[in-house]
Amino acid sequence: MDDDALFKRLAAASDPSALPAESAPANLKDKIQASLLARQADDSVFETLAAAMSAESAPPSLTSRIYSALVARQAESGPLLGLPAVKAGGRELCVFEELVRIAPVGEKKQAFNYCHICHARVIAERMDFAPIYWPGCPYAAFQRR
């Protein structure tokens, strides 16, 4: 029996308003069951594949670009937290930020995003093994994860 005939019989057999009910022939039931089982087996195989995929780490250059974009977006809506407050919060500043923190400059300068003008950012956004090592630099930390 071809597919067209098979589904016509199936429609007739499952339509309560049809002519006197006849029970679906055994081979039709078998075909439907086999089709359902095949579909379930298909689903099961693809679900197994989906669950088996492994995790991967983001490249340091991508991590660097995301960080740069995030801080730039934060700075668009107002000043960043000043460097003295960052340090007071227990976080390490890089050598350049530390110099600014102890310099007699106003709040605006303390809140400036110095990473934006730092060569470490430029290198780290383009290289996955960037030669930057100094402490307190997020871009250097991203390289060594």
Partner 1 sequence: MSLITKTGERELIASVLRKDRKASAEFVERFVDSVYAYVRHRLLPRADLVDDLVQDVFLSAWESLPSFRGDSPVRSWLIGIARHHVEDYYRGRLREPLPQEGEAEPVDPVQLRLEEVLDHKRLCSKTNEVMGSLPEIYSIALRWRYWEKRSTHEMAAATGRTEKAIERILARARALFKKRWNGD
Instruction: Output 21 or 88, the one with its CB closest to partner 1.
Output: 88
Phi/psi at 131 (5° precision): -80, 65
Give the residue with the Cβ less far from partner 1, 22 or 79: 79
Long-range CB contacts (< 8 A, 24+ apart) of 136-140? 136/92, 136/93, 136/94, 136/95, 136/97, 136/98, 137/94, 138/64, 138/67, 139/64, 139/67, 139/115
Contacts of 5 (CB under 8 A, 6+ apart): none
Which residues here bind partner 1, judged by CB under 8 A?
38, 42-43, 45-50, 52-58, 62-63, 65-67, 69-71, 73-75, 78-81, 85-86, 89, 91-93, 113, 115, 135, 138, 140-142, 144-145
Nearer to partner 1, 21 or 133 (CB): 133
Pick the closer one to partner 1 by CB: 27 or 44: 44
> Under a CB-based contact definition with an 8 Å cutoff, are residues 105 and 42 in contact?
no
- The least distance separating partner 1 from the CB of residue 54, rounded to whole angstroms, comes to 5
Q: Shortest distance, CB of residue 58 to partner 1, whole angstroms?
A: 4
Give the shortest CB-40-to-partner 1 separation in angstroms.
12
